[in-house]
Amino acid sequence: MRIDVEQNDITTTTVDAIVNAANSTLLGGGGVDGAIHAAAGPRLLEACRALRRTTLPDGLGVGDAVVTPGFDLPAAWVVHTVGPNRHRGETDPDLLASCFGASLGAAADAKARSVAFPAVGAGVYGWAADDVARVAVDAVRTWDAENPGAVDEVRFVLFDAVALTAFTEACER
């Protein structure tokens, strides 16, 4: 698997699937979540509401992932995952790692060959960019070793220079 790092807008990234740093309600929010919902258009919210009415009545759990179509996005799929919120005492790095592994599994199940991730857990959920980068890169490499050939490319598409530096350094380890 090829792993790339770039500073860009994930909503304009041309890959098979983009990962949404969602909240458990799946009904949109701020940051990456809000940007993805805005760019995908209203059908994304309807798809998420349908998931809540059927398979996820209690919402999506921390570290889990679920796929919806990408609708108006360049990506065919959106993989929604809920990161652990450090401000709520969710400090287990295994929960954070699960976001990346579960997202890759969901993307592979949708036949996505290329996947773009934001810095899930950084920002309002309180994880430091360096910690997210280390956990994310290790989780992606571990998932790839356990599922060889299932996904060809992972891109970490990051909003700011701090995250870009953190992920670049984590990839170089």
Rg from Cα positions in the chain: 14
pTM of the model as a whole? 0.96
Size (the chain), residues: 173
pLDDT digit string (tens) for the chain, length 173 residues: 999 999 999 999 999 999 999 999 999 988 999 999 999 999 999 999 999 999 999 999 999 999 999 999 999 999 999 999 999 999 999 999 999 999 999 999 999 999 999 999 998 899 999 999 999 999 999 999 999 999 999 999 999 999 999 999 999 98
| Residues in contact with 99: Cβ distance below 8 Å, sequence separation at least 6, in sequence order | 63, 65, 81, 82, 83, 84, 120, 121, 139
Task: Give the H/E segment covering residue 117.
Answer: strand 114-117
> How many other C-beta atoms can be found within 10 angstroms of the C-beta atom of residue 87?
11
| Domain of 57, in residue numbers | 2-172
Q: Where do runs of H (alpha helix) occur along the chain?
A: 31-40, 42-53, 93-109, 129-146, 161-172
Domain count, the chain: 1
CATH number at residue 60: 3.40.220.10
Could you please report the per-residue DSSP string of 57-96?
TT-PPBT-EEEEE-TTSSSSEEEEEE---GGGT---HHHH
Six token digits for residue 1: 């698997």
